Amino acid sequence: MIKYKLICKYCTNTFDSWFSSSREYEKLKKQGYINCHICNSLSVEKTLMSPSILKSQKNHMLEVKKDKYKKIKKTIDEYQKFIKKNFEYVGENFAYEARSIHYKNTKKVKGIYGSASKEEIKELSEEGIEAEVIPWLEDKSN
Ligand SMILES: [Zn+2]
């Protein structure tokens, strides 16, 4: 996006207008789509180009997103630490272990965590075993 400050040569009114590119401006001007907001004159010229605000806004959005991601990652990290400390890792055997706890009434001091496919989670839930799906970030150093 590009912002042009336009001036009407007829009534000297100036106004800002956004265009997707300078080419679009030229095209619209040729087709007579750019007219003065006050007197409707087509004698409109661009004056000095205003700095593009949109770009800096976009950059700002990226910063905010990065910040949010950091915060979310930190929350997940803490959550993972908590789970690793309080739950027993069963890896791929999650569905099996969950069933064995549910059906055989296996007493485990700790809860379990591990990986399960969406299908397995669905099956477990149909059997009345509630498993919670949580976001998990792979710890590369692990
Ligand atoms: Zn005008």
Calculate how far, in angstroms, residue 9's C-alpha sits from the geometric centre of ligand 1.
7
Radius of gyration of the CA atoms of the chain, in A: 30
- Measured in Å, residue 43 CA sits from the centre of ligand 1 at 8
Confidence of residue 54 (pLDDT cuts 50, 70, 90): low
What's the confidence (pLDDT) of residue 44?
93
As a whole number, the mean pLDDT across the chain is 83
The whole-number average pLDDT for the span 107-135 is 85
Q: C-alpha distances in angstroms, 32 versus 21, 24, 28, 36, 44?
A: 17, 12, 6, 11, 10
Supply the pLDDT for residue 52: 52
- pLDDT (0 to 100) of residue 11: 95
pTM of the full structure: 0.46
d(CA 101, CA 133): 18
- How far apart are the C-alpha atoms of 93 and 121, rounded to whole Å? 12
Tens digit of each residue's pLDDT (9 = 90 or more) over 43-53: 999 886 555 55
**Beta strands 111-114 and 44-49: pairing type?**
unpaired
* 3-state secondary structure (DSSP) of residue 42: coil
Distance 29 CA to ligand 1 centre (A): 15
pLDDT tens-digit profile of 16-39? 999 998 899 999 999 999 999 899
**Could you tell me the distance, in angstroms and rounded to a whole number, from the CA of residue 94 to the centre of ligand 1?**
73
17 C-alpha vs ligand 1 centroid, how far in Å? 14
Cβ neighbours of residue 73 closer than 8 Å, sequence gap 6 or more: 137
The domain ranges of the chain are 2-46, 57-126
Cα 14 to middle of ligand 1, angstroms: 8
Beta bridge partners of 15: 6
112-132 mean pLDDT: 88
pLDDT class of 79 with cuts at 50, 70, 90: confident
Q: How far is the CA of 38 from the centre of ligand 1 (A)?
A: 5
Rounded to an integer, the average pLDDT of 84-95 is: 88
Q: How far is the CA of 36 from the centre of ligand 1 (A)?
A: 5
Residue 31 C-alpha to ligand 1 middle, in angstroms? Answer: 18
> Quick check: 9 and 20 in contact, CB under 8 A?
no
